[in-house]
Amino acid sequence: MVLLQSFLGFTTTVNASNATGNSTASTISQSSSTYGNSVPLSAFVHFKYVTAPLALNHQGQFPAVTLSFNLAPGVALGQAVDAINKAVNEMGKPVALVGTFQGNAQAFQSSLSSEPVLIAAALVVVYIILGMLYESYIHPLTILSTLPSAGVGALLALMLGGFDLSVIGIIGIILLIGIVKKNGIMLVDFAIQRERDGMSSEESIREACLLRFRPILMTTAAAMLGGVPLMLGHGAGSELRQPLGYAMVGGLALSQLLTLYTTPVIYLYLDRLQDRLAGRRRGKSKASALAPAE
Stated pTM of the model: 0.60
Residues 111-124 pLDDT 10s: 667 777 878 888 88
163 and 264 assigned to the same domain: yes
- Residue 158 exposed, middle or buried by CB count within 10 Å (0-12, 13-18, 19+): buried
Long-range CB pairs of 59-62 (<8 Å, 24+ gap) are 62/98
261 and 118 assigned to the same domain: yes
Question: What is the residue-wise DSSP string for 134-182?
Answer: HT-SSHHHHHHTTHHHHHHHHHHHHHHHT----HHHHHHHHHHHHHHHH
Left (φ > 0), alpha (ψ -120 to 50) or beta: where does 68 sit? beta
Stretch 32-45: mean pLDDT, rounded?
67
Q: Which residue range forms the structural domain that includes residue 163?
A: 111-276
The Cβ of residue 166 has, within 10 Å, a number of other Cβ atoms equal to 21
Judge whether 186 and 214 are in contact, CB under 8 Å. Answer: no
Could you say which DSSP state residue 71 is in? P
The pLDDT of residue 206 is above 80? yes
Cα–Cα distance, 109 to 98 (Å, whole number): 16
Split into its structural domains, the chain has a count of 2
Distance of CA 275 to the CA centre of its chain: 38
Cα–Cα distance, 277 to 294 (Å, whole number): 29
- Give the model's confidence band at 26: pLDDT under 50 very low, under 70 low, under 90 confident, else very high: low
The pLDDT of residue 272 is above 80? yes
119 and 34 assigned to the same domain: no
35 and 123 assigned to the same domain: no
Domain containing 248 — which CATH number?
A: 1.20.1640.10
Stretch 259-273: mean pLDDT, rounded?
85
Residues 80-114 pLDDT 10s: 778 888 888 888 778 777 777 777 777 777 766 77
Stretch 174-183: mean pLDDT, rounded?
82
The pLDDT of residue 58 is above 60? yes
Asked if the structure places residue 94 within a domain, the reply is: no
141 and 252 assigned to the same domain: yes
Residue with the bigger pLDDT between 66 and 77: it is 66
Asked if the structure places residue 92 within a domain, the reply is: no
Stretch 158-186: mean pLDDT, rounded?
82
145 and 255 assigned to the same domain: yes
Cα–Cα distance, 211 to 217 (Å, whole number): 11
Asked if the structure places residue 288 within a domain, the reply is: no
Query: Can you name the residues that pair with 30 across neighbouring β-strands?
Result: 12, 39
122 and 252 assigned to the same domain: yes
Stretch 243-270: mean pLDDT, rounded?
86
Q: Give the Å distances, CA to CA, from 63 to 55, 57, 97, 100.
A: 10, 6, 10, 13
